[in-house]
Amino acid sequence: MQIWLAKCAGYCFGVKRAIKMALDARQETDRVYTLGPLIHNTQIVNQLRKKGIAAIEDSNQMVGEVVDIRSHGITRNQRQVLTRNRNKLIDATCPYVHKTHKIIADMVAAGYPILIFGDGNHPEVIGMLSYGDEETKVIFNDYQVTDSCHWQKLCLLSQTTQSIEDFTAIIGRLLPHCNELRAFNTICSSTSERQMAAIELARHCELMVIIGGKNSSNTKMLAKLCARITNTLHIETEDELVRDLFSGIQRIGLSAGASTPDEMIIRVYNKIKEIYGEGDAVTSIAKIPAFKEES
Amino acid sequence: MQIWLAKCAGYCFGVKRAIKMALDARQETDRVYTLGPLIHNTQIVNQLRKKGIAAIEDSNQMVGEVVDIRSHGITRNQRQVLTRNRNKLIDATCPYVHKTHKIIADMVAAGYPILIFGDGNHPEVIGMLSYGDEETKVIFNDYQVTDSCHWQKLCLLSQTTQSIEDFTAIIGRLLPHCNELRAFNTICSSTSERQMAAIELARHCELMVIIGGKNSSNTKMLAKLCARITNTLHIETEDELVRDLFSGIQRIGLSAGASTPDEMIIRVYNKIKEIYGEGDAVTSIAKIPAFKEES
């Protein structure tokens, strides 16, 4: 039996930065708040709460506090409320997300109707939408482009964690209905790299195990892409692994979303090894240190 | 046996306009020249020559003449030479092609590198290229996008007679290498409509006969699209039709490129009918008058 780890997996730059900024802020004050969970990983959010970094849901609740803005960003209105209520903002919005806010504001000013490709319920997309105008809309894979649709010009951009294939497919549906389609490829490079590495690995494995929050958009996307190629499991922790899942499997691939710490990847790796028993050959343990060097 | 004619087929607006402008000019002067053949249809070009409208290849040859600029357009340099040599220009450049020249000039001014999707040997694309700068390039289906390619911003537009599917496929190849991809859908609407009608018809026929110049880009594209679906013949005149081609065929579809006159479509139709013999049932003759009403 072999366990292989995808070349790029786990924490992205934006998530590492948001956690570091919250922990640094916590050094200087009694308590730090985040608007919504700092990252889409229940285990890490629980650890952070124990360290005095708590998530609350309503921006109106905070007055005169230290508030870490998570990597997904917040809405324009939430930012105004937090500022008006004299909170100190630690802005850990991922630079890739910040860029989408700027593009949307610029394109609204340039008179483009805007479509955002992404999940309309995700905080990142809700934040993006708030920088648009009444013509700014969210589209997803099931978006209906009817014969009567026509845009003289149209701006399209993507939630940072979508797949480039799906983004391209949407462009293919929209292009016949546009004179000009101005597409901004706002999928973050670490998302693309993580996806490409997982897809490549999935082609060589009988089972892919994707580790990350069940509510994490980029983790769900990894699982979806791998499931198109091979059997795929999406788990949050090693506790979800049972012996039956691995029956007859000879090669397992591991990947993890942007909110998954290395520690969790190693715990999953160790659990799989334990299930197979020490007697089995685990030939690709070397992949873990290779990843560790990168992280 | 049935013969069906595609809902949209034959002469497009731009070609009709170019022929009319040349004929009108000929009413007022002894001779009219075109730079290159007025349209990609040998039979019509021969007829025009007999009427005193002759094609020549070199813009330097003409001094003080009346020159009809064909619907494909000409290069910026050719226009300058013709004007400098005191020729009277009748500009029948198709408005869709004119629009591409304007987009290219505007996008060069806005600092975008430009890729033109099309056939680099076609006069329309050679004309388009002349409005670009040293960074303006032509790409086609075999264009190599390597891992090292990257554009901060890129403008992409299409020869007016390409297919939207192929244009979209190129976008899919380029998008992962761009931050911003500004795509102008410059495929002319009558090209799209003609293509869609031919594809729809091809799905219901055992043989498609596509009529138009062997050097006509839009006709070749029609034949290529239909050949993906069913057996397809590309002919210029009815003389290319022989009985063997129709052996065992029960339903034949007809379509024609933008440079093909109605007269030629009817001649092909009559020849097929003749091959099958008057005794055979020709159920869809009604399609021809339906088309005639449109043309």
Instruction: Give kind and range of the element (H or E) at residue B208.
Output: strand B207-211
3-state secondary structure of B81: helix
* Interface check B185 vs A, CB under 8 A: yes
* Interface check A192 vs B, CB under 8 A: yes
Please tell me which residue of chain A has the smallest CA distance to B183: A181
> Which chain A residues touch B115 with a CB distance below 8 Å?
none
Segment A210-235, tens digit of pLDDT: 999 998 889 999 999 999 999 999 99
Segment A236-279, tens digit of pLDDT: 999 999 888 888 888 899 999 988 988 899 899 889 888 876 54
Least confident of A80-89, A250-259, B152-161: A250-259
Cross-chain CB nearest to A164 (options B164, B176, B192): B176
Segment B183-203, tens digit of pLDDT: 999 999 888 889 989 999 999
Cross-chain CB nearest to A185 (options B164, B168, B175): B175
Nearest Cα residue to A20 out of A78, A90, A72, A79? A90
pLDDT at A147: 78
Mean pLDDT of the region B279-289: 41
Which sign does the torsion angle of CA A59, A64, A67, A69 carry?
positive
Query: Residue with structure tokens 């933008």?
Result: B258
Cross-chain CB nearest to B172 (options A168, A178, A192): A168
Least confident of A36-50, A190-204, A274-288, B110-124: A274-288
pLDDT at B145: 81
Are A185 and B181 in contact (CB < 8 Å)?
yes
Give this prediction's pTM.
0.79
For the cut 50, the answer to whether the pLDDT of residue A161 exceeds it is yes
CB atoms within 10 A of CB B200: 13
* Interface check A106 vs B, CB under 8 A: no
pLDDT at B8: 85
| Confidence band of A96 (pLDDT split at 50, 70, 90) | very high
Segment A169-186, tens digit of pLDDT: 999 999 999 999 999 999
Shortest distance, CA B48 to any CA of chain A (angstroms): 35
A247 vs A112 pLDDT, higher one? A112
pLDDT at A108: 97
pLDDT at B262: 84
Is the CB of residue B141 less than 8 Å from the CB of residue B115?
Answer: no
* Interface check A182 vs B, CB under 8 A: yes
CB atoms within 10 A of CB A122: 18
Are B171 and A176 in contact (CB < 8 Å)?
no
Are A183 and B179 in contact (CB < 8 Å)?
no
Are B179 and A180 in contact (CB < 8 Å)?
no
For the cut 60, the answer to whether the pLDDT of residue B285 exceeds it is no
Tell me which amino acid residue B31 is.
R
Whole-angstrom distance, CA of residue B17 vs CA of residue B92 = 7
E-assigned strand segments in B25-129: 32-35, 53-56, 66-69, 88-91, 114-117
DSSP result, A218-275: HHHHHHHHHHTTSEEEEESSGGG--GGGGTT--EEEEEE-TT--HHHHHHHHHHHHHH
> Which chain A residues touch B164 with a CB distance below 8 Å?
175-176
* Interface check B247 vs A, CB under 8 A: no
The CB-based long-range contact list for A53-60 (8 Å cut-off, 24+ gap) reads A53/A22, A53/A23, A53/A26, A59/A35, A59/A85, A60/A85
Are A176 and B185 in contact (CB < 8 Å)?
yes
B196 vs A103 pLDDT, higher one? A103
Segment A8-54, tens digit of pLDDT: 888 888 888 888 999 999 999 999 999 988 888 888 889 899 999 99
pLDDT at B2: 84
Mean pLDDT of the region A142-159: 88
> Which chain B residues touch A192 with a CB distance below 8 Å?
176
Is the CB of residue A264 less than 8 Å from the CB of residue A15?
Answer: no
| Proportion of chain A above pLDDT 70, given as a percent | 93
* Interface check A200 vs B, CB under 8 A: no
Instruction: Give kind and range of the element (H or E) at residue A39.
Output: none
Please tell me which residue of chain B has the smallest CA distance to A179: B185
Whole-angstrom distance, CA of residue A267 vs CA of residue A237 = 8
Mean pLDDT of the region B260-274: 88
Shortest distance, CA B277 to any CA of chain A (angstroms): 42
> Which chain A residues touch B179 with a CB distance below 8 Å?
184-185
Segment B36-49, tens digit of pLDDT: 888 888 888 898 99
Average predicted confidence (pLDDT) for chain B: 88
For the cut 90, the answer to whether the pLDDT of residue B217 exceeds it is no
| Proportion of chain B above pLDDT 90, given as a percent | 60
pLDDT at A38: 87
pLDDT at B229: 95
Measure the N-to-C terminal CA separation of chain A; round to a whole number of Å. 26
Shortest distance, CA A110 to any CA of chain B (angstroms): 14
pLDDT at A113: 97
Shortest distance, CA B153 to any CA of chain A (angstroms): 9
| Confidence band of A142 (pLDDT split at 50, 70, 90) | low
For the cut 50, the answer to whether the pLDDT of residue B282 exceeds it is no
- Domains in chain A: ranges and CATH: 2-11+190-294 (3.40.1010.20), 13-94 (3.40.50.11270), 96-187 (3.40.1010.20)
pLDDT at B248: 85
Cross-chain CB nearest to A175 (options B176, B180, B183): B183
